[in-house]
């Protein structure tokens, strides 16, 4: 029996990771620690929350007493750390929360792991989930590799870069067994509608304008979230301690091309005349310091660990739109803040 702490497991990517681990590894005890900020939602996990190898703990990674309590109570042997403030736009309006959670929170977890595993690091693992944004912004050519220099440009990416440095410092200084992966843009079910794809789906459903920052020429490399969860599984089990792995979809799109493709999928699925949704495209003021292009070279994880993306983008986009259309209650609830009521009902009124 292995007891694994997954932080941020009620969020977008975290919920897919929790589901995968709980279902696939019945001999693991999965502890999901999540503060349930606006981005965390227990509705993401209703299909697995009564499984015997799953426990949810509401807790803040910036609270060292809470983190220590969890390490003590559950004798944590592995950590998959996803909890973070994750939205670039919010890091521009409220950077303090990013510094607190992403830097200080990661430090607390590292410190707790080091103190609890002192003298017996055998079989222990601290796996930190990071982003390709730490590498900054690419020009027209080139790809981010694991040795690309860090050059973060937003408070979000600077806070993630800082947390990556802390993880490496704990490896070098204290021999904490660590792994890091840096992934490109994820999309798929359960993503909070502040992010581009679910925001567009939500607006298009309600025939509201689609806000495209600047000229829409910025490029992102999109990966289906379950492919990211599969990569995390592979790295957790087979990654070399101390190593970093880049994860990407080899799937670059300008924002405007992606939005046009999404508009066409929405028209088709909603039975609207082709071109209806594209008329809602509205160019708006650019994001401050907007990174131009991200693109990942994922040959290391492909060659060394045998992972590769399983879905073509067209298929992934179609599955994603289907999920949001079939789960419009989920979308409306998270858009209205009703998921806090869900938490109360689930835990406080028992
Ligand atoms: P998300 O915003 O959907 O979820 C974050 C989760 O962390 C939420 O459940 C939230 O409640 C929880 N959380 C926030 N602050 C917390 C705190 N102080 N204590 C405990 N829990 C807290 O984020 P996501 O998009 O699922 O991203 C997860 C991780 O993956 C992040 O570390 C992010 O940097 C990284 N990442 C995301 C992407 C992407 O495209 N979304 C790509 C690469 C890496
Ligand atoms: O690359 C990985 C990163 O991808 C993750 O680390 C972040 O957590 C995740 O949020 C994501 O960051 P981006 O800033 O790339 O994602 P976002 O969905 O916010 O925006 C995608 C692109 O779309 C970006 O170029 C900005 C643009 N955009 C976004 C929004 C929300 C718009 O044009 N209009 C919008 O309304």
Strand 219-224 versus strand 78-81 pairing type: unpaired
User: Is 67 a member of any domain?
Assistant: yes
Number of domains within the chain: 2
Average pLDDT across the chain, whole number: 95
Asked if 39 and 88 sit in the same domain, the reply is yes
pLDDT of residue 37: 95
User: Is 306 a member of any domain?
Assistant: no
pLDDT of residue 342: 34
Asked if 137 and 212 sit in the same domain, the reply is no
Burial class of residue 95, CB neighbours in 10 A (0-12, 13-18, 19+)? middle
Q: Which residues are known to be catalytic?
A: 132-133, 156
| Rg of the chain over all Cα atoms, to the nearest angstrom | 20
Q: Domain range holding 268? A: 196-219+253-289+312-339
Query: Region 329-350: what's the mean pLDDT?
Result: 59
Please, what sign has the CA dihedral across residues 91, 93, 99, 100?
negative
Identify the residue whose tokens are 């209650």.
329
User: Is 27 a member of any domain?
Assistant: yes
pLDDT of residue 111: 98
d(CA 106, CA 129): 11
pLDDT 10s digits, 176-213:
999 999 999 999 999 999 999 999 999 999 998 999 99
Burial class of residue 348, CB neighbours in 10 A (0-12, 13-18, 19+)? exposed
User: Is 296 a member of any domain?
Assistant: no
Q: Which residues line ligand 2 (CB under 6 A)?
A: 86-88, 131-133, 184-185, 195-196, 199, 211-213, 218, 220, 255, 287, 294
pLDDT over 60 (residue 82):
yes
Q: Which residues line ligand 1 (CB under 6 A)?
A: 7-8, 10-14, 34-37, 39-40, 60-62, 82-86, 101, 105, 129, 131, 160, 183, 185-186, 192
Asked if 14 and 163 sit in the same domain, the reply is yes
pLDDT over 80 (residue 345):
no
Q: How confident is the model at residue 332 (pLDDT cuts 50, 70, 90)?
A: confident
Q: How confident is the model at residue 1 (pLDDT cuts 50, 70, 90)?
A: low
Helix (H, G, I), strand (E, B) or coil at 154: coil
pLDDT over 50 (residue 341):
no
Asked if 12 and 57 sit in the same domain, the reply is yes
d(CA 162, CA 201): 33
CATH of the domain at 93: 3.40.50.720
Cα(144) to centroid(ligand 2), Å: 17
Cα(105) to centroid(ligand 2), Å: 23
Which ligand 2 atom sits closest to the C-alpha of 210? Answer: 36
Asked whether the beta carbons of 39 and 67 are under 8 A apart, the reply is: no
Structure tokens at 147: 């040795």
**Largest pairwise CA distance in the chain:** 66
CATH of the domain at 200: 3.90.25.10
Asked whether the beta carbons of 280 and 204 are under 8 A apart, the reply is: yes
pLDDT 10s digits, 131-177:
999 999 999 999 999 999 999 999 999 999 999 999 999 999 999 99
**Percent share of the chain, pLDDT over 70:** 96
């Amino acid at each position: 029996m292995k007891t694994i702490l997954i932080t941020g497991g009620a969020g977008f990517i975290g919920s897919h990771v929790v589901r995968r681990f709980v279902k696939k590894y019945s001999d693991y005890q999965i502890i999901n620690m999540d503060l349930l900020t606006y981005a965390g939602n227990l509705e993401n996990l209703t299909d697995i929350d009564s499984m015997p190898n799953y426990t949810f703990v509401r807790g803040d990674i910036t609270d060292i007493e809470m983190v220590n309590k969890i390490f003590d109570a559950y004798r944590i042997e592995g950590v998959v750390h996803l909890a973070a403030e994750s939205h670039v736009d919010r890091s521009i309006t409220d950077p303090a929360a990013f510094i607190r959670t992403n830097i200080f929170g990661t430090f607390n977890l590292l410190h707790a792991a080091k103190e609890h595993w002192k003298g017996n690091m055998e079989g222990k693992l601290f796996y930190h989930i990071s982003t390709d944004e730490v590498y900054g912004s690419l020009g027209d050519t080139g790809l981010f590799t694991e040795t690309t220099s860090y050059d973060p440009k937003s408070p979000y990416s600077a806070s993630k870069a800082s947390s990556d440095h802390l993880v490496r410092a704990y490896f070098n200084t204290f021999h904490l067994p660590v792994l890091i992966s840096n992934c490109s843009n994820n999309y798929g079910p359960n993503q909070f509608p502040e992010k581009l794809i679910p925001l567009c789906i939500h607006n298009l459903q309600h025939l509201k304008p689609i806000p495209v920052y600047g000229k829409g020429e910025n490029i992102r490399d999109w990966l289906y979230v379950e492919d990211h969860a599969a990569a995390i599984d592979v790295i957790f089990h087979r990654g070399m301690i101390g190593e970093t792995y880049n994860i990407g979809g080899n799937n670059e799109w300008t924002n405007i091309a992606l939005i046009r493709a999404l508009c066409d999928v929405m028209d088709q699925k909603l039975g609207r005349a082709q071109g209806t949704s594209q008329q809602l495209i509205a160019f708006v003021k650019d994001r401050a310091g907007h990174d131009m292009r991200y693109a990942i070279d994922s040959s290391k994880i492909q060659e060394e660990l045998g992972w590769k993306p399983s879905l073509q983008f067209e298929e992934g986009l179609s599955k994603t739109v289907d999920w949001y259309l079939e789960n419009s209650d989920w979308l409306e609830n998270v858009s209205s803040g009703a998921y806090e009521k869900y938490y109360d009902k689930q835990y406080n009124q028992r």
